[in-house]
Structure 1
Amino acid sequence: MFVQTVIFSCLLFSISLADPLPCKSPQQWKGSLSEYDHGDGQHNYYNVTYDAIKHRRRTVEEVRADRPGRTYYEWLFLYDENVFYELNLATRVCRKISSPGSWRSYEIPPNATFEHDLVLGVGPTALKVEEWSDRMVAPSLPETWSGTFTVDGCVPVTEVVIVREISKSFSTVFYNIDTSPLGPDDFTPPKECKSA
C-alpha cells in the first residue's frame, strides 16, 4: 500500500510540473487591435467584432488625425458564406468580394507549444499571461506564430504572425476586449452594401 501511495504521489507531482494545456479563448468578443506591419513599418488600429462560432469578423479602421489623406475602410468578413464587404468610410462606396480567404481564430492552436508564464505589471493589479508558439521541439519549418493569453479567461494579449507565402509579418496587440454577448446587428452588412 505504501509503494502505491508513493507512486501515486510521484505521478501527481509530475503532472503538476508538466506544461499547461492550451486554454480555450472566448469565442465571441468586441475589442480593439493595434497591428504593426514589419514590412512597411506601419501601425494600424482597428475596432473588431469577432465571432469564432460562425466564422465572422467585422473590422473598422480607426480614423487617425496623424494620417491626413489616407483612405479608411470597414470590412465585414463572412467566411462561411464565402464573401466579404469592403466599405470606404469617406465615399461610403461598398464592394462585395467573394472568397475572403481562410478563417483564422484568435486563439491558441491545439498543437501549440507552451513557452512560459509572464507577469505584466506589479503588485495586486499584475496580469498573469502565458506565451505559446507553433515552435516544435525538432522543427522542420521555422516558427510562424506566437501569442500571449491571459491566464484568467484566456483572452488574447499579443500575437506575432509570419505569412511566408507573401513574406509578411505582423505584430498585434489586443486591448479593450469585451466578452459580453454580441448583438443581432453586429454582422449585418452596412446599408451601402445592400446593392453591392
Structure 2
Amino acid sequence: MRVIIVLLTFLAACGAKNPEPCTSPALLSGQLTLSTQNEQLWAFARYMYDALGQRIRLQEMGFYQNKSFTYDALLLYREGVMYEINQQDVTCKKRALRADFHPMAVPRNASLMGQAVLGSSSGPGQGVLVDTWTGQLPDNARYLITVTEFGCIPISTSYKTKPFGWIVTSFFNNVIGISDPNQLNPPAFCQDALHEEPVDFFSLFHMK
C-alpha cells in the first residue's frame, strides 16, 4: 500500500490592526501532523516549501486503516513532476504532476472569524497572537485557517472532505528558510526513473 499525503495548499495569513489575507514567506520548513475525522488516517511529516522554485518536499510516517507507512515525495511544479523517493532501497519513481503551484496564502475571499492568544497574554513571550479565517474553496468545501498575526506562519488548517470528514493539519517548529536546499532536488539515483501513472493533486490523497 502506498499512501501519499498531499496538501492542496499551505494556508497562512498576516495582519496589522485590521488583519487581511496575505502570503507567507517564500521559504519555509518545519513539521506537521495530519488527522482525519473518521480516524482512518494519522500522519507526521517534515516539510520543505520553496515558493520561488515552486518545490515541496514531504517526508512522512503514519497510519492508514491501522497499517503503518512511510513516504518521501518531492513535488516539482514547474517541471510537472513528482518523485517518490526511497533512500533505503536507493530507488525512485517518477510521476506526472497534474496540478498548478499555489503559494502559501489565505484565499483573498476568506472571512476573518476573530483573533486569539495561544498560550497566555499575562506576560511577554507567554503567548502568540493568531487570526482564524474561514471560507469556501472552489469545490464548495469549507475550511478553517489559524495563522500567526505577525509573520504569516501557519498554525492549523481544517478542510472538509466527503471521504474523510474534516482533515486537520497542525504545523509546528516552523522556520523561515531551508537549511539544506539540496533536499529540494532529485537524488542522483532518480535521473533514470521511468514515468509511471500520473498523480491528480486536486484530491488530498492517492491510495493504493
Aligning the two structures, in what range does the TM-score lie when normalised by the shorter sequence? 0.7 to 0.9
Q: 1:173 and 1:94, CA in 2 relative to 1: closer, same or farther beyond 3 A?
A: same
Q: 1:32 and 1:130, CA in 2 relative to 1: closer, same or farther beyond 3 A?
A: same
Tell me, in whole angstroms, the C-alpha distance in 2 between the residues paired with 1:150 and 1:130.
6
Q: 1:82 and 1:117, CA in 2 relative to 1: closer, same or farther beyond 3 A?
A: same
User: 1:30-41 residue pairs with structure 2 within 5 A?
Assistant: 30-41=29-40
Secondary structure (helix, strand or coil) at the match of 1:186 reads helix
Tell me, in whole angstroms, the C-alpha distance in 1 between the residues paired with 2:106 and 2:136.
13
Greater RCO (CA < 8 Å, at least 6 residues apart): 2
Cross-structure match for 2:133: 132
Q: 1:89 and 1:61, CA in 2 relative to 1: closer, same or farther beyond 3 A?
A: farther
Q: Which has the higher strand share?
A: 2
Moved more, 52-61 or 96-105: 96-105
Unmatched segments (≥5 aa) in structure 1: 1-17
Cross-structure match for 2:174: 177
- In the superposition, the TM-score normalised over structure 2's length comes to 0.71
Do structure 1's residue 158 and structure 2's residue 159 form an aligned pair?
no
Secondary structure (helix, strand or coil) at the match of 2:130 reads strand
Percent sequence identity over aligned pairs: 26
Tell me, in whole angstroms, the C-alpha distance in 2 between the residues paired with 1:153 and 1:173.
17
Tell me, in whole angstroms, the C-alpha distance in 1 between the residues paired with 2:157 and 2:35.
11
Q: Which has the higher helix share?
A: 1
1:131 partner letter: T
Secondary structure (helix, strand or coil) at the match of 2:183 reads coil
Q: 1:15-72: per-residue Cα shift (whole Å, max 9, x none)?
A: xxx95211331121110010113344321000000012332100011479xxx97341
Moved more, 118-127 or 87-96: 87-96
2:160 partner letter: I
Q: 1:84 and 1:132, CA in 2 relative to 1: closer, same or farther beyond 3 A?
A: same
Secondary structure (helix, strand or coil) at the match of 1:107 reads coil
Cross-structure match for 2:57: 58
2:183 partner letter: D
Tell me, in whole angstroms, the C-alpha distance in 1 between the residues paired with 2:136 and 2:68.
37
- In the superposition, the TM-score normalised over structure 1's length comes to 0.75
1:193 partner letter: C
Tell me, in whole angstroms, the C-alpha distance in 2 between the residues paired with 1:41 and 1:69.
10
User: 1:1-196 residue pairs with structure 2 within 5 A?
Assistant: 19-62=18-61, 70-122=68-120, 123-124=122-123, 125-135=126-136, 143-163=141-161, 169-180=166-177, 183-196=180-193
Tell me, in whole angstroms, the C-alpha distance in 2 between the residues paired with 1:179 and 1:44.
23
Any conservation in 2 of the 1:19–1:114 contact (CA below 8 Å)?
no
Tell me, in whole angstroms, the C-alpha distance in 1 between the residues paired with 2:19 and 2:48.
29
Secondary structure (helix, strand or coil) at the match of 1:72 reads strand
Tell me, in whole angstroms, the C-alpha distance in 2 between the residues paired with 1:162 and 1:102.
21
Q: 1:83 and 1:163, CA in 2 relative to 1: closer, same or farther beyond 3 A?
A: farther
The alignment yields a C-alpha RMSD, in angstroms, of 3.0
Secondary structure (helix, strand or coil) at the match of 2:78 reads helix
Q: Give the length in aligned residue pairs.
A: 173
Cα offset, 1:183, TM superposition? 4.3
Secondary structure (helix, strand or coil) at the match of 2:94 reads strand
Cα offset, 1:194, TM superposition? 1.9
